[in-house]
Each structure stands twice: as structure tokens, then as C-alpha cells.
Structure 1
Amino acid sequence: MNTTYVAGQSKPTSKPRALLEVLAVSTKLGLTSFGGPIAHLGYFHDEYIRRRKWMDERSYADLVALCQFLPGPASSQVGIGIGVIRAGLLGGIIAWLGFTLPSLIALVLFAFLLQGFDIGSAGWIHGLKIVAVAIVAQAILGMGQKLTPDRNRATIAIMATSVTLLWQSAVSQILLIVIAGIVGMMIYRKTMPPETSPLSVPIRRGFAALCLAVFFGLLILLPLLRQFVAMDWLSLFDSFYRSGALVFGGGHVVLPLLEREVVPTELISKADFLAGYGAAQAVPGPLFTFAGYLGAMIGGIPGAILATAAIFLPAFLLIVGALPFWSTLRSSPKVQGALIGINAAVVGILLAALYNPLWTTAILAPIDFVLASLLFLMLVFWKLPPWVVVITGAICGTVIALF
């Protein structure tokens, strides 16, 4: 393994000890990191950089920039990247396990609770659906201010919303991302790339290139195999892999992708889908563990494992594959322009998801709108933790159901 360390970065005394350290710290973060991807990056900085000095500030900033550039769950990819840099490839896997397992276990248990007690129509479940409306609205507000600040990007976003709502299929979203990237490359091709800093990576470029080849190979081959091989597990793996591979802009954007894979095919009801999405806001760790809930609802423990592995696999392949090449990619104005267009389209896709399936399923009466507005107020202006908002929504949903 080709390991080097930059100035200001502490060195592990041995590989086994480094792996144990990565497991311990990532598990701690997996149990305590509430608040979504941006908050996760703050927790990571405090634990990995400020306290333990596993990376220097410039290298951490460079790693965060890379993960914001790639599709997939940015906070999970940062955690994987830190694990790789600290303890090699196995370190990346262990960092992902520690950060992911706590929320995955909690959501799988929630799935079994829903199945065992048949409470899908309970008032508190409806409250969780309203919570999802408020949380996605908050995500759109924050992303819109950052990613669509001018007329061109706002236009891309609204066009993406329109196409997503009027042409509801997985193909439409893939085309939107591609077209938005091309448009962004044309409009913003003169964007000045940010200054880059060296990032020490213990991954050889040949292995990194292989990971990227596997990523694109699976993205192309899985849908084709699905057409000719009638296997439920293959179809499930393809659905979750493709969803994980095409998510730009954070975990909330996975909502419309997954909804179109599992609800129209009747693998899971829309009510159970939204109930699980609401519950996912109450647990720490990455939002992508929502896939584990869906997998458990569809196929029990094996389904949860398959869905979780499939949705996170693209993130792992991309971060390991891109790390050694990031400095070159980041210096390209065309790449920067494409990313600007893609991010604007992501805002539009998420706005479409706010309307359908969230709004059309959760906001059924004026009292539902009132509750959603109050929850949004708690998130955006009172800045209360998401788990407080989730509990409030569940309690209010129960009270509303009594009248």
C-alpha cells in the first residue's frame, strides 16, 4: 500500500490499532450525529480533525469538496474517505460500518414494528408524513439559496420540476441530470475552479480506475440483466444501486428516486414509504439507511442487507475511485460548469418530490397544513434538532387523529 502523511496529520502506531480507532470513533459518530449531512460534516471535523488530527484542515476541506462533487451521500463518503486515508481500504469499510449500523438497526426494527402491529394508518404515522413535508421543505430552502441564486440556475430548477412531475419515470431523472450537466457546461464553462490542495491517499491509481470502471459497469449492466433475468434480488439490487448512483445534492434527493422504484411496483405502499422516511429523520447517521427500512419491509433481514449494500456501493466505489484523481478533476472549468447545472436540476427534482409524493399524501386537510407550517418553523427559525421535530409531529398526529 502506498501510504504517505501530510504535515499536521497524526500517524497510527500500527494497522490493527488504526482499524480499532476508526471503528470506535465512527461508531460513536453513528450513535450521536443527528441533523443531516451538513451537521455530520461538523461532527466529523470536531472529532477527526480538531480532536484527533487524523488529517490537516486543507486536506479535510479538499475531501469535503470532492464528496460534494460526487453523487451519493456526501457525509458517508467523507467518513469513508477519512477511513481510507487513516487505515487503507479496510479502514474505509470499517468507518462506513460504524457510522451506518446504528441508524440501520433502528430503522429495520421500526420496519418490523410496522409489519407486526399493522399500524400503518395510525395517527402518529400520519404525523411522521407531515414531518417529512417540513424537512424536505427546509432542505429545498437551503439548497435553493445556495444552488439556484441566479436566473439561469432557477430556470434549470423549475424546468427540472416540471419534467419530473409531468414525466414520472427513472429515465426522466437520468436524462435531466445529463442535460442539466451539458447546459451547465455551456453556460458556466468559464467558471474559475477553486484552488486545490494536495490530498494524501493510500490508493493506487490503477485500483482507483478499476473501482470507477465497476461503478459505471454496474450502472449500465444491471438494468440490462434485469430485462433478461427474472430474479427478485437482482431487480431489488438494481433499483437501489441506481438510486444511490444518481443522487446529487444530499440524502433527501434519494426520496423521489426510491419512491419511483418501490411504490408504483407495489413493493411497498406509499403510506409505509412515507412513514419510514419520517422515522429516518429521528435517527442519527446517514439518511441513506432509509434503504434498509425499505429492504426490510420488502424482504426482511436479507432484503435490508441487500438494499443497504446496493445503495451505498456506488458511494464507496466513487470515493475510492476518485480520490487519487481529484486534483485534476477539480481544476477543470468544464467539470465545474457541469456540476453547477446538475446541482440546479437537483433542487428542481427535490421540489417535485415535495409536491408528489409528500404533499399529496400528507397534507389532506387544513389542520395538516397548520402542523406542517409549525414544524417548518421549528426547524428553520427555532433551529430545533430534527429528532425533537419528529417526536412533536408524531404526538400532534396522534392528537389530530382523536378528533
Structure 2
Amino acid sequence: MNILVIGTGYVGTTTALVFAEMGWNVTGLDTDAQKIQQLEKGVLYFYEPGLEELLRKHLGTGQIRFTTNKDKAIQEHEAIFICVGTPSRPDGGADMRYVKQVAEDIGQTMNGYKLVITKSTVPVGTQEQVTGWIQAVQKGSFPFDVASNPEFLREGKALEDALNPDRVIIGTNSKRAENLLRTLYRSIKCPIVVTAPRTAELIKYASNAFLATKISYMNELARLCDQLGVNIIEVANGIGLDPRIGTSFLQAGIGYGGSCFPKDVSALIFAAKQNHIELSILGKVVNVNQTQPLYLLDKARERLKSFANKKVAVLGLAFKPDTDDMREAPALRIIDRLLSEQAKVYAYDPVAKLPADVQYESVASCMALEDAVQGADAVFLCTEWPVFQKVDWTKMKGIMNRPNLFDGRNLLDSDEMNAIGFFYQGIGYE
């Protein structure tokens, strides 16, 4: 069975390469000719460990190819994965224009049975919408199925997650579609959960919203720890040993970001409102996350009195390590506020680069960490890149104007930093 993946963004490219690794012949389709040209050359246009090597491997084996010819691609493939973006609208709902366009392209072009699989994160009821969009434009009475197969990829760990998933969710009422999807995933060893399409669609949103809730809970609890003189890291260790809670997503910091959690939480809140339900807990989750970077800034302001004309180094731009994704990154909120208070901002990240945006023209993007720290009055550590733990902080203290370090990820050891001579401030951790 040949697989077509429509959309060669982060999810689409990863999906395509993993199916190629599993032995299937895969085609990646995109309307962006520049992306396709880069992928055909073996160049990954975003950062994700291990993925570029896999791209070059399967370009060599012939298991994967790329195209912009949508009509030919749709006609030549039986299994079609929809992996286009569903960005947030201003009202918080998911923008479905790209999914709708793909559905209509399939309906207008199909020449036989097609299994259409939505892997994009989509609102509950999308399977029915996609079915309707295809039917509305069909030029012949060709049979097809639409199934939901949400992804659960962690940026920075996408290849590991895709090759060794903890579960595969299949949302379909069609036995034919179920059997075909089971065939596609036959080499994967994990539970396969078959549900109704609406259930599969909600599982994706519910999963991300729950993880976001754990993060915001710990971040809000860290604020109390600061007042009580309690170490949030020790609290997390203590409660994480309870198997009902677990150890993951208990790390306090300056909040979550990325392409999934902010968008998916907003979309779930929007869906609830559309159905006259208030998800009040998620509303608080969003509020805590939006204010958490400002909480660390308040701590820094107490120390520095003012940011005006102070040189401030921001270390880490990506929303998490092992990615160059800066969408909704807490570091950008910190930079925006520092700029608004007339700070002189110097930024460094091992991989991510600031966008070519007018608002960041006044930020000095540094090629080396030392360049950002040299002469600084304060350092904000915003991404928990492991390389920051290996820095010679004694040397960094020597080149700073004032040794103030505000650790937004509780990455460094407070006792060690204080012993070096830093004023060290973490989140719920001093």
C-alpha cells in the first residue's frame, strides 16, 4: 500500500519518514515548492534530532519522494494522511481552511477507493466534516473512508515517539479502514485503541490539555513555595513518587509554549463554549501560563529596581530544548517585556534564531553564549538546554557587570551558583 502525506510541516515530514522507516513507500505532498526542493535535497528546514539523517537514508533507498503535483499524487495513493496546519483563530477556535482545501482536492481528484486519515489536530466532529467536504465535490461515486489518527509527538523527541509510541489511536466506524490502518501500523508494538472518530479527536485535545494543566498547577504551586520558603523541586520529587501522579510534567518554570499546548487548550475551551460548557480549570491553566514569565520578571525587577539601560542576556529562545520552535515561547514574552522597559537585550540559543521581525531589530542575536553574557547586569535562563549546565559559570561571573542569574527552568544548582557568587533566583527554588 502506497502512502501519501499531505503537508510536509513538522508532523507531516515526521509521519512520512517514519512510515518509510517501517518499510512503506511514501510520498510527501506540499504546495510550497521551496520546502519540497529542500526535502528532495535531503535538507530538513526545521530542527529535529535524527530526522535529517532519516530523510537522507530514505531518499537513498527510494522509500520516500516528494512532489507538488497534487492531482497525480492523490490518484496514485490509496492511503492519504492529512497533516496540514490548524492554527488558532482570534476567537481561540481551530482554523480549518487548510483541512477543508485538502478534503476538496481529494474529492475532486480521486479515481478509486481512498482511505483519508486526519493526523492534524482537529476539533471534534471533523471526521464528519471531511466526509461531507469530499462528498460535496466528488466527480464520481468512488467509495472512501475518513478516519482519525491523532499524533502524540513531542518536539525534540518526535522520532523516538513515532517509532515507539505508547499508543496508536484509530477513530473509525469502518472495518475496512480499521484493517488498513492496523496493516500500516503492523510493525509497531504498542496498544492500538479503536474508537469512534469523535472520541479519537477528543483524546488528542484532552491529552494535551491535561499535560498543560499539570504544568500550570506546578507553576502556581511554585509561587506559594516562594512565599513559604519551600523548595518546589523537592515537592515535585515527593509527589511524583505517587504512581497516580507520576514524575512527568512536574517541573516548575516559566510556562509552556510551542505549537500544540497553547493552541489545543484554546481550541478545547472554544469547543466547550460552543456547547455551552465552561472548562473553568483550563481557563485558569491559560491564565497561569500567560503570567508565569512575568512572575520571574517581577522577581528580577525587585533585584535590579529597573531594567532601563541594563544589559540583559536571555539564554534560550526555543520553547523547549532540542527544537528550534519559538512559537509561543516564554522567552519571547520575557524579551518583549524587557524591551518595553528599555532594557538592552542580548539573546543566545544553540539552535533557534529570532525571527526577522521589526520588534526584534533592537535585540542583539549572539553567536556565542559568552557574547551575550559579557558585561550583563542579569541573565535570564529560559530554555533548559543541557549545554547550559556545562557552562563555566565561574568564568561567566567574571565577565558580567553584575552576577544576577534568573533561572526560569530551575536548571542549575542553587547552592553551586550561590557559592560561585551569583545572586540566583529560580521558580519556587532559591
TM value normalised by structure 2 = 0.27
Structure with the higher fraction of residues in helix conformation: 1
Structure with the higher fraction of residues in strand conformation: 2
Q: Could you say which structure has the greater relative contact order, defined with CA pairs below 8 angstroms and 6 or more residues apart?
A: 1
Q: Highest CA radius of gyration, 1 or 2? A: 2
